[in-house]
């Protein structure tokens, strides 16, 4: 471990943790609101730099940057500013029979010093979004952006440094060694977005200090296209959900189960949707300004090897399959004929490759989904309400999208999070505020007759009466 790396991590934590007691008193509603407004104004002022950075990191289209990076954060800030006073309000709790004569209330307080470790795929949105929730709750934050998106990490550091005082938020940049050293510090809460594999490492590190965690992970989010689906709308929504950000989205449709009787027309609609979005030919798709690139050569190699392995074992691309290593380009690819032994069906793809798997019995699809790790999202495309309800009730996932994909992430009144292998805890809106808050119980004795229930007991008669009348 580089001594300067260790010193930076320890210094960042110690500097912020030292002010926790003072912050509980001085960082109230007005101060939190001012911090959020300053962050919003700085993001707006630096939009051009954000766009330039994300374009440099993986050629992300400007429209996607605005819609999937800047808009979600600004929307989160606006929503928080509208509701923060109510979220911070002390809540009175009415007494039960046994607590007559007491006064009870719940006070939301900041957990203390929080660590946010952000991923590379949506580097701005998934760094600053959790930061909004932490500031709303009154926490100080060490923010660690991903080193795999270095231009984005640099602009995040500039934005935070301009908008917020360094005794409130510090950005620490670096690689795995920096994250490792940060996880050695006794943070009060850790918010991690990334893979299930690393999520387990984060949870183990948090356990050493009994820190609470929010884990936003991933997994294989399945799609079910039923026999009654609106095929044109389903194909368009699935194509957008899968190929936005070149498939590098934790809630992207990972694979599609399509009812056998509508397989051919669905595939025709899917091909048409891809052609309309990104171009009819491979040359047009490669030249498209609307398709991002793979983040780095390692991820590019992993994806192209998965495609090659599937083709060697008999799968075939319905469309796409082309790639160019010099630009880290992979065409929007739909794969047919895959089977459960292939990596495309075993691992989270996290790229622009979509296996399509025909089915005849919905119960077999449900059994296959439930046999694997719990997904972050499940998407159902169908018009038959009874089938929709049947699929929803018989499955488990972090969220369900019905005739829609990805958009639940943008809904600030919905909890965003996984279950089991796909995550722990929730983010966004009030749920994000609660993730960084401790709901402190306060009970005050006014005229409670508790003395009657204390020793010496003189038998069990009073205790029996209490059991009978106070429950």
Q: What's the rounded Cα separation, in Å, for the pair 143 and 25?
A: 23
Q: What's the rounded Cα separation, in Å, for the pair 40 and 50?
A: 13
Q: What's the rounded Cα separation, in Å, for the pair 67 and 292?
A: 14
The residues near 414 (Cβ < 8 Å, ≥ 6 apart) are 399, 408, 428, 429
Q: What's the rounded Cα separation, in Å, for the pair 443 and 102?
A: 7
- Which of the residues 76, 216, 345, 382 is marked catalytic? 216
Angle between helices 71-88 and 125-137 (to 10 degrees): 10
Instruction: Indicate the DSSP class of residue 143.
Output: E
Q: What's the rounded Cα separation, in Å, for the pair 255 and 267?
A: 13
- Which of the residues 69, 76, 139, 250 is marked catalytic? 250
Which tokens in the block code for residue 203?
């949870």
**ω into 456 cis (within 30 of 0):** yes
The alpha helices in 279-326, defined as continuous H runs, are 282-287, 297-312
**What is the three-state SS of 91-138?**
EEECCCHHHCCEEEEEEEEECCEEEEECCCCCCCHHHHHHHHHHHHHC
Give the angle 396-399-401 at the CA atoms, nearest 5°: 110
Q: What's the rounded Cα separation, in Å, for the pair 178 and 204?
A: 17
Cα 3 vs. chain centroid, distance in angstroms?
Answer: 32
Q: Which of 161, 164, 163, 162 is nearest to 172 (CA)?
A: 161
Antiparallel, parallel or unpaired: β 189-193 and 212-216: parallel
Q: Quick check: is 216 catalytic?
A: yes
Q: What's the rounded Cα separation, in Å, for the pair 189 and 139?
A: 9
Q: Quick check: is 139 catalytic?
A: no
SS3 state at 37? helix
SS3 state at 361? coil
Angle between helices 125-137 and 150-163 (to 10 degrees): 30
Q: Do the Cβ atoms of 124 and 158 come closer than 8 Å? A: no
- β-bridge partners, 442: 105
Q: What's the rounded Cα separation, in Å, for the pair 330 and 322?
A: 6
Give the catalytic positions in this structure.
216, 250
């Amino acid at each position: 471990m580089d001594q300067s790396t260790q010193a930076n991590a320890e210094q960042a934590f110690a500097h912020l943790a030292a002010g926790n007691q003072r912050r509980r008193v001085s960082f109230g509603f007005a101060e939190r609101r001012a911090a959020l407004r300053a962050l919003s104004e700085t993001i707006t002022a630096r939009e051009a730099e954000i766009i330039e950075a994300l374009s440099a990191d993986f050629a992300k289209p400007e429209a996607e940057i605005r819609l999937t990076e800047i808009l979600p954060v600004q929307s989160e800030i606006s929503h928080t500013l509208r509701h923060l006073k109510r979220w911070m309000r002390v809540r009175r709790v009415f007494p039960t029979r046994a607590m007559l004569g007491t006064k009870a209330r719940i006070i939301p307080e900041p957990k203390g010093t929080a660590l946010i470790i952000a991923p590379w795929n949506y580097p701005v949105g998934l760094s600053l979004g959790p930061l909004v929730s932490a500031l709303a709750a009154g926490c100080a934050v060490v923010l660690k952006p991903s080193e795999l998106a270095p231009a984005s990490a640099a602009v995040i550091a500039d934005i935070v440094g301009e908008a917020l005082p360094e005794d409130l938020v510090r950005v620490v940049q670096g690689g795995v060694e920096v994250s490792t050293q940060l996880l050695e510090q006794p943070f009060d809460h850790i918010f991690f977005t990334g893979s299930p594999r690393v999520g387990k490492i984060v949870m183990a590190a948090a356990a050493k200090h009994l820190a609470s965690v929010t884990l936003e992970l991933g997994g294989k989010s399945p799609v079910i296209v039923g026999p009654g689906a609106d095929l044109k709308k389903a194909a368009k929504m699935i194509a957008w959900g899968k190929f936005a950000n070149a498939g590098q989205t934790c809630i992207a449709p990972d694979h599609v189960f399509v009812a056998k009787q509508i397989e051919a027309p669905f595939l025709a609609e899917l091909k048409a949707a891809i052609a309309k979005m990104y171009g009819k030919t491979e040359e047009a798709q490669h030249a498209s300004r609307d398709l991002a690139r793979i983040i780095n050569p390692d991820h590019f190699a992993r994806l192209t090897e998965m495609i090659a392995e599937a083709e060697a074992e008999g799968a075939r691309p319905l469309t796409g399959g082309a790639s160019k290593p010099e630009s880290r380009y992979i065409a929007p690819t739909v794969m047919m004929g895959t089977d459960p032994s292939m990596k495309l069906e075993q691992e989270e793809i996290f790229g622009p490759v979509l296996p399509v798997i025909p089915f005849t019995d919905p119960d077999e699809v449900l059994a296959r989904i439930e046999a694997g790790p719990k997904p972050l999202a499940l998407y159902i495309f169908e018009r038959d309400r009874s089938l929709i309800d049947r699929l929803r009730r018989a499955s488990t996932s972090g969220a369900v999208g019905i005739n829609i994909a990805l958009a639940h992430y943008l809904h600030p009144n919905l909890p965003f999070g996984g279950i089991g292998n796909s995550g722990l805890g929730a983010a966004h809106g009030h749920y994000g505020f609660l993730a960084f808050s401790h709901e402190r119980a306060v009970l005050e004795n006014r005229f409670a007759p508790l003395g009657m229930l204390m020793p010496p007991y003189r038998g069990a008669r009073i205790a029996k009466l209490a059991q009978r009348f106070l429950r």
